[in-house]
Amino acid sequence: MAQASARVLQSGMRLPPMPTIRELVKLYRLQARKQLSQNFLMDERLTDKIVKSAGRIDPRDLVLEVGPGPGGITRSILRRHPQRLLLVEKDPRFGETLQLLKECASPLNIQFDIHYDDILRFNMEQHIPDTSQRIHLIGNLPFAISTRLLINWLEDLSCRRGAFRRIDTCMTLTFQKEVADRICAPVGGEQRCRLSVMSQVWTEPVMKFTIPGKAFVPKPQVDVGVVKLIPLKRPKTQLPFPLVERVVRHIFSMRQKYCRRGFGTLLPPEDREDVTQKLFQRAEVQDTLRSFELTVEQCLRLAEVYSEHLVTRPEVAAYDYRAPKNAEVL
């Protein structure tokens, strides 16, 4: 009998009976805190669907969950039986519910670590020194930090550091629907912006599904999109992340104007027109396209010619058209 139940647990099919998340939230009086963007998912079918979106989780894999809160998604991850589960949660009020989950899951033989920390400061290399395990990053992210966290992780990916020392670390994350649409937006799309290009230089973002706001407690003002970001085996550029970010930011700073206008603000006004024209020619990009009409490759060619320009004109790197003495009417 004991052996049979151990087999069921080992196969990752079932956790021992536990109070529901709703009951735990009530029992421990876990009122959602707005300043930590807390919106809980109580529906097991939805938490299972999020984890299923991460794809296959092998018994040797590690899952890092951001912001487990009372542990709804955590339960769904446990049912997939990774070798190690690492939780990073800023709010220590969830200590009791997460500890209960850890105890209930102990027969599963999963290495279960809980850190009460800010994910924006969490040192991946220290906590995951071993690179032999594949990592899945999963989280129903706090809205307030989701874009910042994604940009940080894209930079880590570009440098192959942190959770991205291995190129097969996928991210399955929730965003406000509008942000999710922007991340995945195609060329010419209404939502196409800096975040679309930055995400698509290093990953293939896939919109998995939408969760209606009413599925969360408390209900946020907006719906939520679940996006899986799969790192590209061959990134589209070797240029440094901050340089690409700077160029893309300037290109998209005037979304409705010809893209040469935004790009031009990278350059001092003295010879801006001339240099802009030459650089667009060299990059073989039509300067009258709007920024949202540019492909990732075109943005990267503009970043390359800008980078080459800095070799002969290094002082241009420090040029900031918004600095008070440079502030111009464009």
Q: CA–CA distance from 24 to each of 33, 51, 58, 101, 129 (Å)?
A: 16, 21, 29, 11, 34
Query: Does position 152 bind ligand SAM by CB under 6 A?
Result: no
Choose between 227 and 267: whose C-beta lies nearer to ligand SAM. 227
Residue 145, SS3 per DSSP: helix
CB distance 209 to 226 below 8 Å: yes
CB of residue 293 vs ligand SAM: minimum separation in angstroms?
35
Choose between 92 and 186: whose C-beta lies nearer to ligand SAM. 92
Please list, residue by residue across 108-132, b when 16 or more beta carbons sit within 10 angstroms of its beta carbon and e when fewer do: bebebebeeeebeebebeeebeeee
CB of residue 203 vs ligand SAM: minimum separation in angstroms?
21
Query: Does position 36 bind ligand SAM by CB under 6 A?
Result: yes
Residue from 120, 159, 327, 330 touching ligand SAM (CB under 6 A): that is 120
Query: Does position 145 bind ligand SAM by CB under 6 A?
Result: yes
E strand or H helix at 261, and its extent? helix 259-264
CB of residue 107 vs ligand SAM: minimum separation in angstroms?
23
d(CA 190, CA 188): 7
Among the residue ranges 7-15, 115-123, 161-169, 239-247, the one whose residues contact ligand SAM (CB under 6 A): 115-123
Query: Does position 142 bind ligand SAM by CB under 6 A?
Result: yes
CB of residue 148 vs ligand SAM: minimum separation in angstroms?
9
Site string for ligand SAM, 192-231 (x = CB under 6 A): ----------------------------------------
Residue 162 φ/ψ region, left for φ over 0, alpha for ψ in the -120 to 50 degree band, beta for the rest: left
Q: CA–CA distance from 303 to each of 12, 103, 206, 241 (Å)?
A: 47, 51, 25, 10
Choose between 157 and 224: whose C-beta lies nearer to ligand SAM. 224
CB distance 153 to 139 below 8 Å: no
CB of residue 53 vs ligand SAM: minimum separation in angstroms?
14
Strands (E), 67-139: 84-89, 111-116, 135-139
∠ CA(297), CA(282), CA(236), 5° rounding?
20
- Closest residue to ligand SAM: CB criterion: 67
CB of residue 43 vs ligand SAM: minimum separation in angstroms?
10
State the number of binding residues for ligand SAM (CB under 6 A): 22
Residue from 25, 38, 62, 251 touching ligand SAM (CB under 6 A): that is 38
Site string for ligand SAM, 66-95 (x = CB under 6 A): xxxx--xx--------------xxxx----
Residue from 30, 51, 77, 119 touching ligand SAM (CB under 6 A): that is 119
Among the residue ranges 32-40, 202-210, 254-262, 284-292, the one whose residues contact ligand SAM (CB under 6 A): 32-40
Provide the 10 A C-beta neighbour count for residue 55: 11
Take residue 122 and report the two structure tokens written for it: 């969490």
d(CA 238, CA 232): 13
Q: CA–CA distance from 59 to each of 78, 80, 87 (Å)?
A: 11, 8, 18
Write out the residues near ligand SAM by the rule CB under 6 A.
Answer: 36-41, 66-69, 72-73, 88-91, 118-120, 140, 142, 145
